[in-house]
Structure 1
Amino acid sequence: MNGSPAPETTAPEATTLSSVIVVGSGPTGLLLAGDLAHAGVPVTLVEKRPRGVSNLSRAFGVHARTLEQLDARGLADPLVATGGTLTGLRLFRRLSLDLSTLPSRFPFLLITPQYEVERLLERRARELGVEFAYESEVVALRQDGTGVDVEVRRADGAVVTHRAAYVVGADGHRSAVRQAIGLPFPGASVIKSLFLADVRLAETPETVLTVNGAGDAFAMIASFGDGWYRVMGWNRRHEVADDVPLDLDEVKEVTRRALGTDYGMHDARWLSRFHSDERQAPQYRVGRVFLAGDAAHIHSPAGGQGMNTGLQDAANLGWKLAAAVRGWAPEGLLDTYQTERHPVGEAVLRSSGGLVRLARAHSPVLRATRALVSALIDGVGPARRKVIAQVTGIGYRYPAPRGSHPLTGTRVPDAALGTGRLYEALRTGRHLLVTPEPCEPPAGPHADRLTVAHWATPRRTTLLVRPDAYIAWASDSATPEAIEAALSSHLG
């Protein structure tokens, strides 16, 4: 599909080549580019901004499933060291979610600024050989049966054409890639006026995350662990455009109304307004072009699922693109990105939108509904566990063929293997075959696509685990022939 033509005033220079182009160097793009490079795929990461990770980002919460994905890359423990943890979340005063019960190595919400996530992911990407093209703006995109041409305007005004086998737009909610392939971004604003501020406090809150609403005001304060705090809030009686000036006095006043105190707020290093939309692209793939993260879906900040969902997109797509570039992807593998991730994005839109609508309830009927929903979730174990699993990301499962083992398509939890932990074994970036007893790695075409390990405890189930830590195939009584058939089906 053709995008808009490049400006006529500047002719494209000589074409440069790479196997995959990732547009956007936020967390989603950095994780994806690093995964591709780790798999031996040449990657160019195109970024409109100058080099340098911004410390003025919105996200600050990293959920358990994201930490598991980072653990499979050796990054979780360094990231946990940068922030504080919460083992419980309180919503609407009456509803408490106990994260300490999560069946995960990370039974908590990590509070750390997005720039710490970006710092670790950027360092990994550089070490793996990702080529960065900063101050480079996508101005046109064309694709054919063998590749994609991306025209990029550099800071000096020159337009350079990059050609790749595939392109991924991870370039945010105003995605130039999405616009170039002609995809709509339907949806609407759910909160017209939110504010963000990074401040210092004279008084320390009791927990790393403080949240409450009172009347027409809502405020949240999160500790970055370095003396700075992120404040987010809204005032229903003062919904204004994003470009209306914001000062610290307004932030303090709304915070006092919502929390009863402003904790001696001072020395704001950043103040900003924004509006919160709910939007999702109808397709995450058009030919050889894919969308991930905010380029594919945006939603309210309720539940802190935005950055986390984008990182899960990247983890799902990276190994599939690598398989396609290297020539062993089974037929239809790239199409599973849409069938697996689009429903998750849709579910996040529903859950985060529901939370923010309940939080903003002001009529007696809506407040009664909120109380009823809170009581139901708080008092019914399965409902509470389902909410926790969805918010933290550990509860999502992908479609499985009819007749598959019940574990197929589910997230694999960490477990002890004969040579270490399961998530440590996934750090090769390959599929992982886990068997009840030690066995020899299979010879032939699968050898360089597979890691083999065995359970450290008595288990009879054989698992084939995908690089994104979901179960591709399972059997409670696997024969060598069945294992070979599974490997041929999933590894080409």
Structure 2
Amino acid sequence: MNGTTGSTQRNDHDRGVIVVGAGPTGLLLAGDLAEAGIPVTLLEKRRHGISNLSRAFVVHARTLEQLDARGLADELEAKGQRLDRLRLFDRLALDLSTLPSRFKHLLVLPQYEIETALERRAVEAGVHFAYETEVTGLTQDGEEVTVEVRGPDGSAATRRAAYVVGTDGLRSAVREAIGQPFPGRSVIRSVVLADVLLAEQPETLLTVNAVGDAFAFIAPFGDGYYRVIGWHRGRDVPDSEPVDLEEIKEITRLALGRDFGMHDARWMSRFHSDERQAPQYRVGRVFLAGDAAHVHTPAGGQGMNTGLQDAASLSWKLAAVLDGHAPEGLLNTYQTERHPVGKAVLRSSGGIVRLAMAKRPWTLAARAALTALLGVACPVRAKVVGQVTGIGYAYPAPRGAHPLTGKRVPDVALHDGRRLYEALRGGKFVLITAADTEIEPGDRKDRLTTAHWTTDRRTALLVRPDGYAAWASDAPDEATIEDALTTATGPASAVGRRSAGAERVGTAHDGGN
């Protein structure tokens, strides 16, 4: 997948946006941009090939909705297994069957399956991949970003783009290059992982529990192997310390009461779990998303999901600005919308871990109280479920805006037989109006589709490409709707155009990539 250019050529795949990191976040973002017609290059320092050594196994409802808006959810649902209860620790499980979503469950599916689907989509959309390409430096000015890279043969190269997005993980080279700190700390050290065969099949799809000194998690790969993650309070050793199967068995027995006869490990490793967040997700023309912007404990399975939702928030904004349909200031909303969500996920995942590992009397009492509260208090339970699944997050709205503005929009039925998230495919806004209100996309048909409610509802609702309400009115007229469309999608007569910066950028010296 590596392209080759001369030292002074400019190529379409090197203009527009450079995404660094070919994990789930980078793949979704790059695919969105390419589908919108933005030239995009995805740099990845690893060799081409998706590893099956996944850490993420849970796909939550809000992420499934975003994948649905890209035509991938049904395919992935067929490959995974559904679970309508998420167990956080002994006696505390979240009931997902009443979620206000098409996906009233979580999907148990290894991360590599998500990456495979997103990579295929990105390739089909025209993303240019450059594997074995490592970012070694980055500079920017008011018009472009220059990225210094080292190619597969060790040679230096320079790439330029209008914008760069770092989705390159915990040790992000992009974050380091723009001087962003990554404050936080290691929460759990010496977590062990293994892929094993089991002599005894667990009774539940996801097996998880914690006691005062140990935690264990077991999930199926779908190929006969199971991923086991474990931690023991008394085993605090460096990540470099070798792991053996007996250690993993012992931790599993402590946490789960038995080790299920695990054998024939095909892979074992040790890592530590951090809680960190970059203060700024945007520095000039450079953005951070996914683990490059925030890392959390594995509790609740929120890490990959949060990154994918970062990408869904950023991609349409970059496309709108580069196409000339939105002012550059729109990109600032990525920080105001996603940074608070990342902070909230840090709090919720960290809280789950601390309660799961409770040992002192007052923390055990707090866990017991929370378990009891979630069992009876519907508003509290709904809030916790909304946070863990991503369904409950909303974005800031201007003062005086309609109450729906900034809220996630459910997958409502439309008059033409489509669902909303089917209508969102292609990265367009969707305007939903009453049946007797006729608004044609006209010159906006490249970025807007229109539909009617299937009921007698009179509210006009403009839904952003990421499924959140951009604007709404309970008493709309054509002039009001036109004003809202102009604000959100640009003037009707605006013709898509790349910014001067995007047209200028290219490869100064490509070094064989």
TM-score (norm 1): 0.96
Q: Is the 8 A contact 1:186 1:280 kept in 2?
A: yes
Is 1:446 aligned to residue 444 of structure 2? yes
Alignment-derived partner of residue 53 in structure 2: 56
Q: Is the 8 A contact 1:330 1:491 kept in 2?
A: no
Alignment-derived partner of residue 142 in structure 1: 139
- Aligned letter for 1:348? V
C-alpha RMSD of the superposition: 1.4
- Aligned letter for 2:281? Y
- Aligned letter for 1:113? P
Could you tell me which runs of 5 or more consecutive residues in structure 1 were left unpaired when the two chains were aligned: 1-11
Distance 1:159 1:120 in 2: 32
- Aligned letter for 2:50? V
How far is the alpha carbon of 1:85 from its aligned partner?
1.2
Is 1:340 aligned to residue 337 of structure 2? yes
> Deviations 1:304-350 (Å, cap 9, x if unpaired)?
00000000000000000001111111352100000000000000001
Is 1:122 aligned to residue 119 of structure 2? yes
Distance 1:421 1:411 in 2: 15
Distance 1:152 1:300 in 2: 31
How far is the alpha carbon of 1:378 from its aligned partner?
2.1
Alignment-derived partner of residue 509 in structure 2: none
Distance 2:372 2:287 in 1: 41
Is 1:227 aligned to residue 224 of structure 2? yes
Distance 1:473 1:93 in 2: 43
Instruction: Describe the SS at the equivalent of 1:100.
Output: coil
Please list every run of at least 4 consecutive aligned residues from structure 1 whose deviation after the TM superposition is greater than 3 angstroms. 12-17, 438-445
Distance 2:303 2:88 in 1: 18
> Deviations 1:237-282 (Å, cap 9, x if unpaired)?
1121111000111111111121111111111111111101000000
Q: Which has the higher relative contact order, 1 or 2, with Cα contacts under 8 A spaced 6 or more apart? A: 2
Distance 2:276 2:261 in 1: 37
Alignment-derived partner of residue 491 in structure 1: 489
Q: Is the 8 A contact 1:416 1:457 kept in 2?
A: no
Distance 2:384 2:107 in 1: 18
Q: Which of 465, 468, 478 is equivalent to 1:467?
A: 465
Q: Is the 8 A contact 1:219 1:232 kept in 2?
A: yes
Alignment-derived partner of residue 30 in structure 2: 33
- Aligned letter for 1:50? R
How far is the alpha carbon of 1:151 from its aligned partner?
1.1
Change (3 A) 1:363 1:158: same
- Aligned letter for 2:123? R
Is 1:153 aligned to residue 126 of structure 2? no
> Deviations 1:402-443 (Å, cap 9, x if unpaired)?
111111000010011112111100002111101111654436
Alignment-derived partner of residue 217 in structure 1: 214
Alignment of 1:20-419 (within 5 A): 20-330=17-327, 332-419=329-416
- Aligned letter for 1:423? Y
Alignment-derived partner of residue 8 in structure 1: none
- Aligned letter for 1:487? L
Change (3 A) 1:198 1:443: closer
- Aligned letter for 1:430? K
Distance 2:463 2:410 in 1: 11
Instruction: Describe the SS at the equivalent of 1:432.
Output: strand
Distance 2:201 2:154 in 1: 49
- Aligned letter for 1:483? I
Paired residues, number: 481
Distance 1:113 1:155 in 2: 29
Q: Is the 8 A contact 2:321 2:328 kept in 1?
A: no
Alignment-derived partner of residue 7 in structure 1: none
> Deviations 1:20-41 (Å, cap 9, x if unpaired)?
0000000000000000001000
Q: Is the 8 A contact 1:200 1:229 kept in 2?
A: yes
Change (3 A) 1:129 1:438: farther
Q: Is the 8 A contact 1:33 1:125 kept in 2?
A: yes
Q: Which has the larger displacement, 428-437 or 87-96? A: 87-96
Q: Is the 8 A contact 2:22 2:168 kept in 1?
A: yes
How far is the alpha carbon of 1:188 from its aligned partner?
0.4
